[in-house]
């Protein structure tokens, strides 16, 4: 059993994405969260392919480096497996069972629900509450992922001297961070659906959140890497040079109109298309607003562009907007990285369950 371990020390959130390792440590001061440390370190190409870790020792070394650079003292961590590698199933169990009995019963019955041999999966469960309309039964969420998805991440952390206390699911971590963002806009929270568009390096994910839960997810292989590659081609730069120029500027005048504008347009179209898919498959007529996350949310002016093009208000994701910051943290840097830290933040929040 691994996913939702109950008792735990303070945890670092470690997000291993396709192109970077992101670390975040939060503490709680009274009723406020405080950012204690964070770090982002790029991964070499092809260390994570189709969400599978291919070079675990490389990732271990990079986690070690980012831990050192962040200055954190924590040795325990929460990581996540991608939602697409996970199977979930809601089952109903007798309410009278205690935790151990429930665990034993679920292990006995799990093969009915999971389409893999049980010795090939990591399995865990979390009790959701009473089953509607059925007395004496409780809803239990079963979560299973192939062992290697879990073990590669646990091993990468071990190589960096960290212990994985929790292996969460990325979408649950994002839900957690979204809740913070919704709290930042109390007057805007309506009964309508809210879109969370995460435009990363290689993947763009549209999650629809309703009543604080993700009710729809669509992934497309599209992201900032396309922009980096355009810059490389046009100006004859290396991948690293192009990545830096994209963030820090210094490109010729034609970059804006000829490369960046078409990319912003492509982002708006990708999000628009996913929204159409959602709307055509659901009873919702529209979304209230879009929370824009992922590294590409830091492209200046992208929010206005999407707002104009789709006619839906945009909020740039900043899960730290209401948090205190340790003096070690540079606010400007954190602000710029914040939209890309939704998963890391949701994981770090697991310290306070
Ligand atoms: N200030 C910025 N301006 C432009 N692009 C940026 C900026 N900051 C980050 N990016 C781009 O955002 C992308 C990284 O985003 P993010 O960290 O969300 O991706 P990821 O989660 O690691 O990747 P994936 O979601 O594909 O697994 C990169 O392409 C990076 O160049
Ligand atoms: Mg991402």
Q: 309: buried, middle or exposed (CB in 10 Å: 19+, 13-18, 0-12)?
A: middle
Our count of domains for the chain comes to 1
Residue 256 is classified by DSSP as I
Q: Whose CA is nearest to atom 28 of ligand 1?
A: 201
Nearest residue (by CA) to ligand 1, atom 19, is 200
CATH of the domain at 134: 3.30.1490.300
Domain that holds residue 110: 85-147
Mutate to test the pocket of ligand 1, among 18, 223, 249 (most ligand atoms within 8 A of CB): 223
Query: Is 225 a domain residue?
Result: no
Q: Residue ranges of the alpha helices (H) in 236-297? A: 239-248, 255, 261-280
Q: What integer pLDDT is reported at residue 300 of this predicted model?
A: 94
In a domain, 93, yes or no: yes
Distance of CA 293 from the midpoint of ligand 1 (Å): 10
Residue 251 lies in a domain: no
3-state secondary structure of 123: strand
Ligand 2 centroid to 205 CA: how many Å?
Answer: 8
Domain-embedded: residue 131: yes
Residue 340 Cα to ligand 2 midpoint, Å, equals 7
Alpha-carbon torsion 70, 72, 75, 78, what sign?
Answer: negative
Predicted pLDDT at 188: 72
Provide the angle, in degrees to the nearest 10, between the axes of the packed helices 302-310 and 261-280.
50
Q: What is the C-alpha separation between 26 and 6, in angstroms, rounded?
A: 18
Residue 236 lies in a domain: no
pLDDT value at residue 8:
60
346 lines ligand 1 (CB under 6 A): no
Look at ligand 1, atom 26, and give the residue with the nearest C-alpha: 202
Give the number of the atom of ligand 1 that is nearest the alpha carbon of residue 19.
22
CA 2 to CA 189: how far, in whole Å? 34
Q: Which helix (H) or strand (E) holds 80?
A: strand 76-81
Torsion angle of alpha carbons 112, 131, 212, 99, nearest 10°? Answer: -70
Q: How far is the CA of 224 from the centre of ligand 1 (A)?
A: 6
Instruction: Indicate whether residue 60 lines ligand 1 (CB < 6 A).
Output: no
Ligand with the closest atom to the CA of 295:
1
In the chain, which residues have pLDDT < 70?
1-8, 189-190
Predicted model pTM? 0.93
Q: Are 348 and 26 in contact (CB under 8 A)?
A: yes
| Long-range pairs, 229-232, Cβ under 8 A, ≥24 | 230/259, 230/263, 231/255, 231/259
Structure tokens that stand for 166 in this block = 């929790």
Interatomic CA distance for residues 232 and 187, integer angstroms: 44
Q: How far, in Å, is the centroid of ligand 1 from the Cα of 192? A: 29
Residue 188 to residue 284: CA distance in whole angstroms: 17
State both tokens at 256. 């804006």
Query: For atom 11 of ligand 1, which residue has the closest CA?
Result: 295
CB 291 within 8 A of CB 185: no
> Is 135 within the bounds of a domain?
yes
Ligand 1 near 32 CB (within 6 A): no
What pLDDT does 1 receive? 45
Q: Whose CA is nearest to atom 27 of ligand 1?
A: 18
Q: Tell me the C-alpha distance between 142 and 326, whole Å.
A: 38
Ligand nearest to the CA of 228: 1
pLDDT of residue 174: 95
Tell which one of 79, 221, 340 to mutate to probe ligand 1, the residue whose CB is within 8 A of the most ligand atoms.
Answer: 340
- Residue 220 Cα to ligand 2 midpoint, Å, equals 12
What tokens were used for 240? 């690293």
* CB of 297 shorter than 6 A to ligand 1: no
pLDDT of 190: 61
Q: Is the minimum distance from the CB of 82 to ligand 1 under 6 angstroms?
A: no
Tell me how far CA of residue 240 lies from CA of 42, 186, 269, in angstroms. 10, 41, 27
In a domain, 301, yes or no: no
Would you say residue 273 lies in a domain?
no
């Amino acid at each position: 059993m691994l996913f939702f371990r109950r008792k735990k020390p303070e945890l670092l959130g470690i997000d291993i994405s396709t192109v970077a390792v992101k670390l975040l440590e939060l503490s709680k001061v009274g009723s406020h969260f405080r950012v204690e440390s964070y770090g982002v370190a790029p991964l070499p190409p092809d260390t994570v392919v189709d969400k599978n870790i291919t070079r675990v020792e490389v990732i271990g070394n990079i986690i070690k480096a980012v831990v050192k650079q962040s200055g954190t003292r924590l040795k325990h961590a929460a990581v996540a497996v991608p939602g697409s590698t996970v199977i979930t199933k809601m089952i109903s169990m007798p309410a009278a069972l205690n935790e151990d009995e429930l665990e034993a019963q679920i292990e006995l019955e799990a093969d009915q629900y999971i389409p893999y041999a049980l010795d090939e999966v990591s399995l865990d469960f979390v009790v959701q509450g009473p089953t509607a309309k059925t007395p004496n039964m409780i809803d239990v969420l079963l979560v299973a992922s192939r062992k290697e998805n879990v073990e590669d991440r646990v091993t990468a952390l071990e190589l960096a001297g960290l212990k994985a206390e929790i292996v969460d699911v990325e979408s649950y971590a994002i839900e957690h961070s979204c809740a913070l963002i919704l709290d930042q806009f109390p007057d805007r929270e309506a009964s309508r659906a809210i879109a969370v568009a995460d435009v990363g390096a290689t993947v763009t994910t549209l999650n629809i959140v309703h009543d604080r839960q993700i009710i729809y997810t669509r992934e497309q292989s599209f992201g900032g890497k396309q922009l980096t590659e355009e810059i490389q081609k046009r100006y004859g730069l290396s991948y690293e040079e192009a990545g830096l120029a994209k963030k820090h500027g210094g490109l010729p005048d034609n970059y804006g109109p000829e490369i960046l504008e078409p990319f912003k347009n492509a982002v708006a179209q990708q999000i628009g298309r996913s929204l159409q898919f959602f709307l055509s498959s659901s009873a919702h007529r529209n979304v209230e607003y879009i929370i824009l996350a992922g590294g590409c949310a830091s492209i200046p002016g992208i929010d206005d562009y999407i707002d104009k093009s789709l006619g839906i208000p945009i909020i740039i994701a900043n899960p730290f907007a209401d948090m205190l910051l340790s003096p070690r943290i540079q606010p400007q840097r954190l602000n710029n990285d914040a939209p890309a830290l939704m998963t890391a933040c949701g994981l770090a929040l697991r310290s306070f369950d």
